[in-house]
A = this chain, B = another copy of it.
Amino acid sequence: MTRILGIDPGLRVTGFGVIDKDGSQLRYVASGCIRTCDRETLPQRIATLFNGIGEVMATYQPDAAAVEIVFVNVNPQSTLLLGQARGAALSALAQGGLPVAEYTALQVKQAVVGHGKAAKAQVQHMVVRLLQLAGTPAADAADALACAICHAHGGLGGMAALGGRAYRVRNGRLIG
């Protein structure tokens, strides 16, 4: 069994999701968001993210991590802030000695929904189905779980996520 920590980095909200992979079986463990306050200084916000991910790691003891590759924002200042948030996430993982894989949003969507142009709601929907969740996680947590699922399937696209089941998928929804 491998426990995978997925992370969707952001300065205001960093999503995390923990799943167990046992053969072709995936099991939900935990997910949530680490939030920072925009009235704090940047060093304080980075510390919150760094320490928050450290707490998640200490609590759930993952074996591997998968971090979404963030997109370059239109606003260079936002890009710089996002980069720093991602640096905090990678640093926390480095401190824990975790092997880190990186996936683009395209790869994550392909692995979870089956195509790279899926909407956020489709990703959430498929995360709920694949992990058999009772409720829908927040968008950032769902993205983090999706990133962990992508890693669990070797980062490969397509419907590997569905294993041997005879499901059919249309527009990212299970229909069979």
Enumerate chain A interface residues (CB-CB to B < 8 A): 41-43, 46-47, 50-51, 67, 70, 72-73, 76-77, 79-95, 100, 102
The 9 A-B pairs at the shortest CB distance, nearest first, are namely A83-B83, A87-B87, A47-B94, A91-B91, A84-B87, A43-B100, A72-B76, A46-B90, A50-B91
Q: Which residues of the partner chain B approach A67 to less than 8 Å between Cβ atoms?
A: 43
Q: List 13 A-B contacts (CB under 8 A).
A: A41-B100, A43-B67, A43-B94, A47-B90, A51-B94, A72-B79, A79-B79, A79-B80, A80-B83, A83-B87, A84-B90, A86-B87, A88-B88
Q: How many copies does the complex hold?
A: 2
Beta-carbon contact of A102 and B72 below 8 Å = no
Q: Cα distance A93–B89 when bound, in Å?
A: 14
Main secondary structure of the interface of A (DSSP, over half): helix
Shortest CB distance A35–B (Å): 16
Q: Which residues of the partner chain B approach A41 to less than 8 Å between Cβ atoms?
A: 100, 102
- Which of B50, B73, B85 is within 8 Å of A94, CB to CB? B50
Q: Cα distance A94–B44 when bound, in Å?
A: 8
Given contacts A80-B83, A80-B86, 8 further A-B contacts (CB under 8 A): A41-B102, A43-B90, A43-B94, A50-B90, A79-B79, A79-B83, A81-B83, A87-B88
Shortest CB distance A8–B (Å): 15
Q: Cα distance A76–B67 when bound, in Å?
A: 20
Shortest CB distance A76–B (Å): 4
